[in-house]
Amino acid sequence: MADRLLQVIATTEQIDTVVDCLKELPPDHWWRLPADKDEGRQMLCVALFKGDTQEVMDAISDALESEKDWRLFSVPTEASLPELDDDDEESRRAEKESVSAREEIYREVRQGTALTVDYLVMTALAAMVAAIGLSQGQVAVVIGAMVIAPLLGPIMAFAFGTALGNFALLGVATRALGAGLLVATAVGIALGLIMPGSYPDTSMMDFSGVLSLRTVALPLAGGAVAALMMSGGQTTGLVGVMVAAALLPPLAAFGLFVGVWDIPNALRALATVMTNIVAINLAAQVVFLLKGIRPRRWEGSDHKTSVRVALGASGALVLLMALALWAAGHGYVPGI
């Protein structure tokens, strides 16, 4: 059963080039529509299983890389007939069905990282709700804040951009994430200044104890789950909640601590936020790489090296931040 339909619109000569890329596909899996005599353009349709889409899209992109005025669309299908009755082929597809094409993932993460007024307002409201919940010791309120926090988009966009070496996406993700963190921090500080008794409830979030590598367990798990779901095109609101759980409460606590001028605990909360960000990014990068999501020019040594360097840098940052937290928790950092 085909669950992706590729549509290529190009000149007749370009379609001839694309046809050469489809020789290994069964002849009944692709077809050409008659060419427009006036425009000299033609459409070619290819019916594919989702797991095979990336390979075919890359082949077409490589073949037409130096050409102009062509378009390729990937359209998901709800159903197709006849049903597949080949057990071996069904097993092969089952092993690959959890990975979407990188272009489809890119579209999803790019939409989720747009720096819009709605994104900033939602982040501010989520931080406000989380800060109120922390100051009043209301767990349900904090959970509600994590539901509305739109932090998944920029975090996953950053990890995905790192995995692909896409600097444009990295820039967009960095701006969106930075703006969200600043807005959430400002809201927390404002509430800490104007609300009496706004000190975070230590029964919910206590930064006075020893912090260690266990601090990164939640963000590592959250980043891995988010990347797994996103690579399969199955992202749900629950994934965003899991990522927000690692970021929003300590971020709101940081703002509240600054507002009441408890700098040692504020620095601990900020260190926790930064550690969680790099841990989520590291886990997502690893998952994307293991799922085979990599640059189209992966065969080149430069791209392999850049991805490995990014993974190494993220891993080193996680260890350094965790070490800093451990040192602060054991009193090795003066004043904290």
333 domain-assigned:
no
Are 116 and 64 members of one domain?
no
86 domain-assigned:
no
Q: Residue 10: what pLDDT?
A: 92
**Cα(97)–Cα(76) distance, integer angstroms:** 13
The CATH number linked to 146 is: 1.20.1080
On whether the CB atoms of residues 9 and 71 are closer than 8 A, the answer is yes
**Cα(226)–Cα(120) distance, integer angstroms:** 22
The CATH number linked to 43 is: 3.30.70.120
Are 240 and 171 members of one domain?
yes
DSSP result, 82-100: SPP--HHHHHHHHHHTT--
Which residues share a beta bridge with 71?
Answer: 9
Q: Residue 298: what pLDDT?
A: 47
DSSP result, 240-308: HHHHHHHHHHHHHHHHHHHHTT-HHHHHHHHHHHHHHHHHHHHHHHHHHHHTT---TTTTSHHHHHHHH
- For residue 132, the enclosing domain spans 103-322
127 domain-assigned:
yes
**Cα(44)–Cα(60) distance, integer angstroms:** 12
336 domain-assigned:
no
Cis peptide before 82 (omega within 30 of 0): yes
Last residue of a domain, one of 47, 65, 97: 97
Q: Residue 299: what pLDDT?
A: 43
For residue 14, the one-letter residue type is Q
Q: How many CA atoms lie within 13 A of 103 on its CB side?
A: 15
15 domain-assigned:
yes
330 domain-assigned:
no
Are 236 and 281 members of one domain?
yes
What global pTM score does this model have? 0.73
Are 75 and 119 members of one domain?
no
Give 183-215 pLDDT, tens digit per residue: 999 998 898 888 766 666 655 666 655 555 566
Q: Per-residue b/e over 283-322, b at no fewer than 16 CB within 10 Å? A: bbbbbbbebebbbbeeeeeebeeebeebbeebeebbeebb
Are 122 and 227 members of one domain?
yes
In this structure, what DSSP letter does residue 11 have?
E
Which residues share a beta bridge with 45?
Answer: 7, 31
List of the chain residues with pLDDT < 50: 1, 298-302
Are 64 and 112 members of one domain?
no
Are 213 and 286 members of one domain?
yes
Count of domains forming the chain: 2
Are 112 and 226 members of one domain?
yes
Are 158 and 277 members of one domain?
yes
Are 55 and 146 members of one domain?
no
Could you report how far apart the first and last alpha carbons of the chain are, in Å?
60
Place of tokens 């706004």: 198
**Cα(267)–Cα(13) distance, integer angstroms:** 62
Q: Residue 233: which of 317, 109, 320, 72 has the closest Cα?
A: 109
Are 75 and 168 members of one domain?
no
335 domain-assigned:
no
Last residue of a domain, one of 97, 131, 163: 97
DSSP result, 13-77: HHHHHHHHTTTTS-GGGEEEPPP-TTT-EEEEEEEE-HHHHHHHHHHHHHHTTT--S-EEEEEE-
Are 173 and 255 members of one domain?
yes
Q: Residue 273: what pLDDT?
A: 86
Structure tokens at 297: 């020019």
On whether the CB atoms of residues 316 and 252 are closer than 8 A, the answer is no
**Cα(135)–Cα(237) distance, integer angstroms:** 25
9 domain-assigned:
yes
Last residue of a domain, one of 97, 128, 155: 97
